């Protein structure tokens, strides 16, 4: 299977982490793949109106899969899910215990332009200290890379299968 | 307790160590007498003294040896200079040998310190000993090692000690890695305040994380300067996010006909059976995979024939308690995630006969209805 080869190769290469003590090792890529494929198939089932809304849903699904695979211990994954969920359901949810938000030892000063930009980019980056922000950013980047590779491989796989199917459809026709 | 003898020792800082050596011989006897009544690990003694006997218990002879040895060495001079401080400290003696000891309070302190160093291992050179000593003169004498590094940051240093320490810094800098604890080393010419130490530790942490990020982001290692690196990182993250969006658009635009043969075959080849638990409402299947990913993969591969077995509730799902907030967070998505599995199950006829179609129960049907009503 082409996709599996791609996935395995990328999976092993992505685990070459030089600093294992700071970044926790992610779960294997296949767990993200399983989740994402499931969600993908679901979204494809529900006959949605337009490709754009479907695209939106797929994007949200991808983000949620990424966040789930990262684990609840990561602040960015929690914040990402909170954002996604909030968009789904307008009414306010009950307040979950969020010690990171409640206990703010030092107010993050928004002086540095770069720091502010980083906070905006990384989900959940508003309430963290600078140190923590860098950590979460590194984790987020790793997850994003994994997710992008996964989706790319799926697209490649499907386009490949699609082309193969088309060819197989044509050939028996020719033979017959 | 200010015995005249110890003050005498404190004053004589030139090369005359004979009175001290004479004392150490008597001291040795006292140490022996102290050790024998007490248990070896000093469990009978109160907290302060307990550690002392523990320290002294094991390397007692070594401690005395060290005393003898150090008598000849030069660093003793600086120690004695510093050693005036221990005199003023209250010294808690563990047992009824207290009557014998007060005269040797300072010597006992030094012995404690030496024995600690001996316990660490002899590679702790004299410079290492020296480094820890000015610390210990501040901290209580009886547990130097565990609190030494902690106290190092916290105790304010007097100017005299700072100068005494800085003079040896060049030699000490190289020995920092031998000791078993993590500490912040005061470098030559740098301030040793609590604040600056803490700030330096924080800066080092931040630099370490920045280096990590630099390694993650391709093309960042060549760039020097924090601002440019941060810029590059932000650009990279934005690029990745845009890529995700673009790919999702592509995935949506791909012919939405049901292409299950490929997906199912991919899934069946890639991973083992999927454990599904259709609990009420907020039970999310997937987060249960987190704590056991490594082991779960292996066990799942073993259970290949029982592919889509629904009632498979492995004991691995126990550590879900810690994930309750997580589940609450993703409660809305819980509808999303377990249901696609059911929809996958239902379209099995397209696939090979691996999957157990008759396992489709009423639960599945209702779940599928819920999925389609999304």
Q: Do B341 and A38 touch (CB under 8 A)?
A: yes
Q: Give ∠ CA B278-B284-B286 in degrees, rounded to 5.
A: 110
Backbone angles phi, psi at A19, to 5 degrees: -120, 75
Q: Which residue of A has its CA nearest to B241?
A: A144
- Higher-scoring residue by pLDDT: A88, A97: A88
Listed residue (A168, A155, A148, A124) closest to A2, CA to CA? A155
Q: How many CB atoms lie within 10 A of CB A102?
A: 9
pLDDT at residue B216, as a whole number: 84
* Per-residue pLDDT tens digits for B233-284: 899 999 999 998 888 888 777 655 545 555 555 555 554 444 444 444 434 4
Contact B290/A46, CB-based, under 8 Å?
no
Quick one: pLDDT at residue B238? Answer: 92
- Which has the closest alpha carbon to A145: A54, A2, A17? A17
**A44 and chain B: CB distance < 8 Å anywhere?**
yes
Residues in CB range of B363: below 8 A, 6 or more apart: B278, B310
pLDDT at site A151: 86
State whether A46 and B274 contact (CB < 8 Å): no
| pLDDT recorded at residue B374 | 43
Which residues does chain A have within 8 Å of residue B227's beta carbon, measured at their own beta carbons?
114
Where is B129: in which H helix or E strand?
A: helix B126-136
The residues of chain B scoring below 50 in pLDDT are: 1-16, 39-60, 63, 66-67, 70-102, 112, 116-177, 258, 271-374
User: Of A48-52, A156-160, B366-370, which has the strongest mean pLDDT?
Assistant: A156-160
CA separation for the pair B262, A157 (Å, rounded): 9
Q: In this complex, do A34 and B337 lie within 8 Å of one another by their Cβ atoms? A: no
CA atoms of A9 and B112, how far apart (whole Å): 58
Q: Touching check for A142 and chain B: CB below 8 Å?
A: yes
pLDDT digits (tens, 9 = 90+) for B176-233: 445 555 566 666 777 778 889 999 999 999 999 888 888 888 888 888 888 888 888 8
Instruction: Flag whether residue A4 sits within 8 Å of chain B, measured between CB atoms.
Output: yes
Instruction: In whole angstroms, give the CA distance from residue B89 to residue B104.
Output: 13
B217 interaction partners in chain A (CB closer than 8 Å) = 141
Taking a C-beta distance cutoff of 8 angstroms, is the pair B82, B133 a contact? yes
Q: What is the mean pLDDT of chain A?
A: 71
b or e along A66-99 (b: 16 or more beta carbons within 10 Å of the residue's beta carbon)? bbbbbbbebbbbbbbbbebbeeeeeeeeeeeeee
Question: Who wins on pLDDT, A161 or A173?
Answer: A161
Q: Which of A1, A96, A131 sits opposite B205 (nearest CB)?
A: A131
Q: How far apart are the first and last CA of chain B?
A: 82
For A64-96, the pLDDT digits (tens) are 887 777 777 777 777 777 777 776 665 544 555
- Mutate which of B206, B207, B286 to disrupt the A interface (most A C-beta within 10 Å)? B286
- A132 vs B: CB within 8 A: no
Which residue from A41, A118, A154 is facing B340, i.e. has the nearest CB?
A41
**What average pLDDT does chain B have?**
53
Query: How far is residue A165's CA from residue A45's CA, in Å, rounded to a whole number?
Result: 20
Please name the member of A39, A84, A144 whose beta carbon is closest to the beta carbon of B337. Answer: A39
The whole-angstrom separation of Cα B252 and Cα A53 is 9
Query: Of A34, A92, A122, which to mutate for an interface test with B (greatest number of B Cβ within 10 Å)?
Result: A34
Structure-token pair, residue B72: 């000849």
Rounded Cα gap, residues A53 and A73, in angstroms: 31
Rounded-to-integer distance, Cα B191 and Cα B171, Å: 18
> Searching chain B, which residue's CA lies closest to the CA of residue A37?
B263
Q: What is the pLDDT of residue B154?
A: 45
CB B114 within 8 A of CB B63: yes
Give the model's pLDDT for residue A36: 79
For residue A138, pLDDT beyond 80: yes
Q: With CB atoms and an 8 Å threshold, state whether B251 touches A35.
A: no
* The CA-based dihedral angle spanning residues B250, B253, B257, B263, taken in that order and rounded to the nearest 10 degrees: 10
Chain B residues with beta carbon closer than 8 angstroms to that of A58: 248-249, 251-252
Start-to-end CA span in chain A (Å):
29
Q: Using the 8-state DSSP alphabet, how is residue B179 labeled?
A: S
The rounded distance, in Å, linking the Cα atoms of B115 and B56 is: 6
Distance from CA of B204 to the nearest CA of A (A): 10
| A14 in B contact zone (CB under 8 Å) | no
Spatial CB neighbours of B6, under 8 Å, sequence gap ≥ 6:
B87, B103, B104, B105, B106, B107
| Rounded CA separation B322/B45 (Å) | 41
Cβ neighbours of B360 (radius 10 Å): 17
SS3 content of chain B, % helix, strand, coil (to 5): 65, 0, 35
- As a whole number of angstroms, the distance between CA A14 and CA A145 comes to 9
Residue range A115-136: mean pLDDT, rounded: 82
Higher pLDDT, B178 or A155: A155
Distances (CA, A) of B317 to A48, B277, B323, B342: 34, 10, 11, 20
CA dist list (Å): A8 to A26, B58, B202, B337? 15, 55, 38, 24
B128: distance to nearest CA of chain A, Å? 28
What pLDDT shows up at residue B75?
A: 44
Q: Which residue of A7, A42, A115 is in closest CB contact with B371?
A: A42
Confidence band for A100, pLDDT divided at 50, 70 and 90: low
Chain B residues with CB under 8 Å of A59 CB are 244-245, 248-249
- Of the candidates B9, B2, B11, B7, which has an alpha carbon nearest to the alpha carbon of residue B23? B9
Q: What does the pLDDT read at residue B239?
A: 92
What phi and psi, each to the nearest 5 degrees, are found at residue A32? Answer: -65, -40
Residue written as tokens 């090692």?
B145
Chain B touched by A39 (CB under 8 Å)? yes
What pLDDT, on the 0 to 100 scale, is given for residue B8?
44
Selection from B74, B126, B133 nearest residue B106 by Cα: B133
Query: Could you give the maximum distance between any two Cα atoms of chain B, in Å?
Result: 98
Q: Nearest by CB to B262, which of A28, A46, A161?
A: A161
**B189 contacts: CB under 8 Å, gap ≥ 6:** B166
Q: Which residues 98-127 in chain A show a CB within 8 A of chain B?
A: 114-115, 117-118, 121-122
Sequence-distant contacts of A5-13: CB under 8 A, at least 24 apart: A6/A153, A6/A156, A6/A157, A7/A33, A7/A150, A7/A153, A7/B270, A10/A149, A10/A153
């Amino acid at each position: 299977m082409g996709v599996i080869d791609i996935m395995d190769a990328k999976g092993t290469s992505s685990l070459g982490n030089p600093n294992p003590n700071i970044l926790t090792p992610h779960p294997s890529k296949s767990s993200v793949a399983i989740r994402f494929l499931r969600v993908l198939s679901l979204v494809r089932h529900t006959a949605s109106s337009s490709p754009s809304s479907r695209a939106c849903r797929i994007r949200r699904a991808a983000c949620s899969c990424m966040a789930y695979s990262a684990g609840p211990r990561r602040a960015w994954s929690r914040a990402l899910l909170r954002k996604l969920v909030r968009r789904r359901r307008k009414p306010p949810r009950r307040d979950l215990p969020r010690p990171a938000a409640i206990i703010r030892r030092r107010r993050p000063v928004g002086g540095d332009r770069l720091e502010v930009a980083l906070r905006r980019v990384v989900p959940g980056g508003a309430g963290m200290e600078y140190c923590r922000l860098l950590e979460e950013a590194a984790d987020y980047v790793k997850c994003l890379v994994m997710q992008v590779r996964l989706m790319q491989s799926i697209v490649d796989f499907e386009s490949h299968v699609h082309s193969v199917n088309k060819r197989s459809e044509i050939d028996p026709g020719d033979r017959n | 307790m200010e015995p005249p003898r110890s003050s005498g020792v404190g004053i004589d800082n030139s090369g005359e160590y004979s009175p001290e050596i004479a004392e150490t011989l008597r001291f040795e006897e006292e140490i022996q007498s102290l050790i024998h009544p007490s248990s070896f690990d000093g469990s009978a003694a109160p907290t302060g003294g307990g550690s002392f006997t523990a320290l002294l218990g094991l390397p007692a002879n070594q401690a005395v040896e060290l005393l003898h040895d150090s008598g000849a060495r030069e660093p003793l001079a600086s120690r004695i200079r510093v050693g005036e401080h221990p005199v003023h400290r209250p010294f808690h003696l563990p047992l009824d040998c207290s009557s014998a000891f007060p005269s040797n309070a300072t010597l006992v302190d030094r012995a404690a310190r030496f024995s600690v160093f001996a316990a660490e291992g002899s590679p702790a050179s004299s410079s290492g000993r020296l480094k820890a000593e000015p610390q210990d003169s501040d901290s209580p004498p009886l547990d130097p090692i565990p609190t030494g590094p902690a106290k190092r940051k916290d105790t304010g240093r007097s100017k005299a000690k700072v100068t005494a320490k800085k003079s040896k810094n060049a030699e000490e800098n190289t020995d920092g890695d031998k000791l078993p604890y993590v500490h912040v080393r005061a470098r030559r010419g740098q301030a040793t305040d609590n604040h600056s130490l803490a700030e330096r530790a924080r800066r080092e942490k931040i630099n370490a994380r920045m280096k990590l990020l630099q390694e993650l982001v391709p093309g960042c290692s060549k760039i020097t300067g924090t601002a440019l690196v941060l810029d590059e990182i932000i650009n990279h993250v934005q690029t990745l996010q845009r890529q995700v969006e673009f790919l999702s658009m592509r995935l949506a635009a791909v012919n939405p006909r049901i292409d299950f043969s490929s997906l199912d075959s991919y899934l069946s080849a890639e991973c083992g059976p999927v454990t599904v638990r259709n609990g009420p409402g907020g039970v999310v299947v997937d987060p249960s995979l987190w704590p056991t990913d490594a082991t779960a993969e292996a066990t799942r591969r073993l259970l290949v024939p029982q592919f889509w077995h629904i009632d498979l509730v492995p004991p691995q799902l126990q550590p879900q308690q810690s994930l309750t907030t997580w589940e609450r967070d993703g409660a809305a998505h819980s509808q999303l995630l377990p249901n696609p599995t059911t929809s996958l199950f239902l379209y099995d006829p397209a696939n090979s006969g691996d999957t157990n179609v008759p396992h489709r129960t009423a639960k599945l049907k209702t779940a599928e209805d819920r999925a389609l009503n999304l």
